[in-house]
Structure 1
């Protein structure tokens, strides 16, 4: 399915590079290779999964439109894919999502429906009503095979680029929310680079995947919102993604918000990249948790760059301080 998705994405998704900096290598104490999906269409890897899922639908079904739940990046990926196919898109977003993500989703032509996440309003109930009323197809953000397959195309690129860079063994650190990107990359590496091991990375307080892998069963976070890493704040891992991650991934890594902000600043200073908080957790783990990583080289994703100006300024000020 991943290879089929890669075929459908060819000529549409960007092939992002592997970047490096001697300054980051020095901090980490090993070679650091960064996969900047913040350079992908819509500013995150989510376009891969959105395009893969929308393109896999039967034309008659796709023509009725699609619906998605998202705090922002999946929203934009599905919205752009729907626009490219000329079909309607309805995106249900939390009202406390970053304004940039809400505005960008609307600008891509999607109808945005806001809900009160903090107040406990159910996005599933809203979505079920709209789906039944309009005949829309739900594109889940991570626990959906075609979405996982689309995210896995990032892993195919990593496998090939790692070989070109002379990296055959080591950890591939992945920013992880529900696990779509992590499980997709893990599957691709299993096939094309078995010496590389995917490892999920999360912020403190929202480390449901790390705890779930350690316990061998799905555990939930105490809260479904809060913190600065909105892009990867999910209640718990998906059922499909957890099964894949349990089989293929190494232990999860957990970083602090201060480390996330520092990683955002370093990505800007040393790689000229703009990373959002949730997109910088893997880089933070690579730089500030070297003792928990194996190998002479580490590969990490920057999964998104859709950050509000105020948050980005905060990151730069943190580094200056």
Structure 2
């Protein structure tokens, strides 16, 4: 099987596994991204996410993750829900409506890897689902999936931004896609204007210390009093900068059974969230990304909202 046939096979199977897109880029050092990452860390925009300071070189060079890496395969997977929470209750980010995406998407990628092995034999690879020092949005842009918007998320003209990104880094030589070079945000500043905590310092630069997603998930300490009245009822993550993005008018509901929200989630009232007990929390969110914040963190978030 030559590289053209293998590339066709991989993309065909990716779509059959319900991925929105599969873009492929040659592996290499992310020269343009290096100074931006260094500046972001120097300004301490990562807050208390100390792990962001680790593996600086690995974030920029896939060959330090997979020896002799030749290709970075980037996949996008839709999570936009068919039904939304009641807007009058406490809100959680749409990506957390269903089962934990790390597990769901990783299983699909590993299935694809096994099918590739049948075609070409063993090869060196690693699978990533937001689980290692990989600059996934940079690779997604280099593989032609979309561009990085002013809210720092990857945007697609046809799909919006409500999708997960995942990667396979491997030593297979494949046919590569052209990088996405056009910025279709134009003069729009809706995401910047809508952020209640002013976390978007400048286009594509997020001060995590002010981001509601960081405050409700990553931050383990108490949320600062300066955010009182600014959380807009978000208790796990935040979708404000996506909800206002004009490109998300093209988002369509996902068909992944494991991402469908349980009825209790959509029907929860503020009273239900306030009176939620730890045993019920552990039962309801056993397979959910919401468990990341832990029961104590969720209660903290509710109090701040």
More helix by share: 1
Greater relative CO (CA pairs within 8 A, separation 6+)? 2
TM-score (norm 2): 0.32
Rg larger in structure: 2
